[in-house]
Amino acid sequence: MLHDFIIIGAGVTGITLCKLLREKFPNILVLEAESEIGGLCKTKVINGHILDIGGGHFFGTKYDEVYQYIFKYLPKKDFNYFQRVSKINIENTDIDYPIESNIWQLPIEKQIEYIISVVRNEEALGVKEPKNYEQWIRWKLGNKICDNYMIPYNIKLWGVEPAEMDIDWLYKIPRVNVEEVIRYCLEKTQDVNKYPAHIKFYYPKDGGFGSIVNAIAEDELQYIKTDTKAEKLVFDENSKTWLINDKYRAKNVINTTPWNDLYKSLGEPHHLKKHFDKIKYNKIVVSLYEKTYTHNYHWRYIPNITEQHHREFYIHNFAPASKNNGIYIETNIDRFNKDKITFQGRNICHFETKAAYPIPVISHADAIKNILEYYKGKNLFGVGRWGQHQYQNADVSIMEAIKFVRDFT
Ligand SMILES: Cc1cc2nc3c(=O)[nH]c(=O)nc-3n(C[C@H](O)[C@H](O)[C@H](O)COP(=O)(O)OP(=O)(O)OC[C@H]3O[C@@H](n4cnc5c(N)ncnc54)[C@H](O)[C@@H]3O)c2cc1C
């Protein structure tokens, strides 16, 4: 059969594409490498704990269309709605996120050190905006916040040196100026509207984040072939069609998986190698623990470099149906050493993600642009976190899928 579209990957992007494309085209097929759908948005219930095995997932969006889309399949009444409580553990204190707005929560001696550092930042001194991430955060926030929080946290999360990273994803971090930092300290308050995302968030009442994807996927399951990894993609110039794994033929293919993993499957396109080489991602390990806690935190950032993990999630505080002593932590796979785990608690299990974060190495944006432009000419498209190789949350990947289908002619 000649399919109108074959979609590679049945995460939230692939499933959304399938659903929306089916409204316009009769023959859609989704190929999924794993035995289960959902990609990074999968949840498992283990020992009474609701565990999002792809790491900490919360729902919120600036797109009304995405709210309408999600609530159509999992009604709003089936979510709890939370005011975010996220902390940063720094200088042996838990302060609210983001650090720039909450220096006033540190001991007074530390406040003075941090404020002096912020005031002396290079931006305030009129220095030109730098081009790599490490220089940029120093320029913006001063050395103290960088050395004690931003640099170690980002090394832990990304697994690459901040000096090797681009600055095009920085809309993800809060923008607070020197005057605001001082004002918050004097007024001992913060402006929560400075949060870049998730000031408030939705989380399903039943199950975890995976319930959202399962609800969307309900009508799509018959179009998804699980345990089917796309391993060989061949374009026939005469018929202008793709043949995948010598078996599935399509007029159009949409990739929702990391492009660098497809390099061989695409027959090693040497003329694009330098671009494929710039497409990098990291992996994380999600580890579930049991340990009693009484605070109301949803999650906590751990910049301390001597600790393996970088974030902790207090499950019962956002999933009340989950047992009250469940915590899971995220660790970059390169730092993960089972014999030297620094987190204290009763370990239940570990899950390894496949691709977790697309790493914004310098010139990654140019690389993905070249790859997408080349393959668009062959009716092979990229959509979503991996397809567009952008630090997209699920809501943005859904929006990109909506836009793709709307604009496709
Ligand atoms: C730690 C972490 C925290 C996050 N927190 C949030 C959050 O709070 N809120 C939020 O909205 N988003 C969050 N995200 C982002 C969210 O997970 C992604 O935006 C979303 O899951 C992307 O979906 P996707 O379908 O594009 O990719 P994926 O979910 O990665 O799906 C890709 C699918 O392709 C399959 N696949 C791979 N290779 C092949 C192949 N060759 N053939 C066939 N199938 C293949 C994979 O098995 C997978 O199922 C977070 C992500 C991470 C890692």
Residues 6+ apart with CB under 8 A from 308: 331, 335, 336, 337, 340, 341, 342, 343
The per-residue pLDDT for 194 is: 66
3-class SS shares of the chain: helix, strand, coil, % to 5 = 35, 25, 40
Q: Rounded to an integer, what distance in angstroms lies between the CA atom of residue 168 and that of residue 166? A: 6
Best residue among 20, 35, 37, 57 to mutate for probing ligand 1, ranked by most atoms within 8 Å of CB = 57
Contact assessment for residue 396 and residue 169, using Cβ atoms and an 8 Å cutoff: no
- Please, how many CA atoms are within 13 Å of residue 286, restricted to the half-sphere of its CB? 24
Does 287 contact ligand 1 (Cβ within 6 A)? no
Provide the token pair at 321.
Answer: 């149906």
Does 254 contact ligand 1 (Cβ within 6 A)? no
Helix (H, G, I), strand (E, B) or coil at 383: coil
Cis peptide before 152 (omega within 30 of 0): no
pTM: 0.96
DSSP 55: S
Does 386 contact ligand 1 (Cβ within 6 A)? yes
Q: Rounded to an integer, what distance in angstroms lies between the CA atom of residue 10 and that of residue 202? A: 23
For residue 152, the CA-to-ligand 1 centroid distance in Å is 25
> Which atom of ligand 1 is found nearest the CA of 34?
47
| pLDDT tens-digit series, residues 347-393 | 999 999 999 999 999 999 999 999 999 999 999 999 999 999 999 99
H or E segment and range at residue 233: strand 233-236
Q: Residue whose CA is closest, atom 36 of ligand 1? A: 9
The per-residue pLDDT for 121 is: 87
| Residue boundaries of the structural domains of the chain | 2-83+203-281+358-407, 86-197
Describe the strand order of the beta sheet including 86-90 as a list of residue ranges. Answer: 93-96, 86-90, 299-301, 311-314, 326-332, 284-290, 346-352
CATH number, span 2-83+203-281+358-407: 3.40.50.720
DSSP 384: H
Residue ranges, the chain, pLDDT below 70: 171-176, 193-198
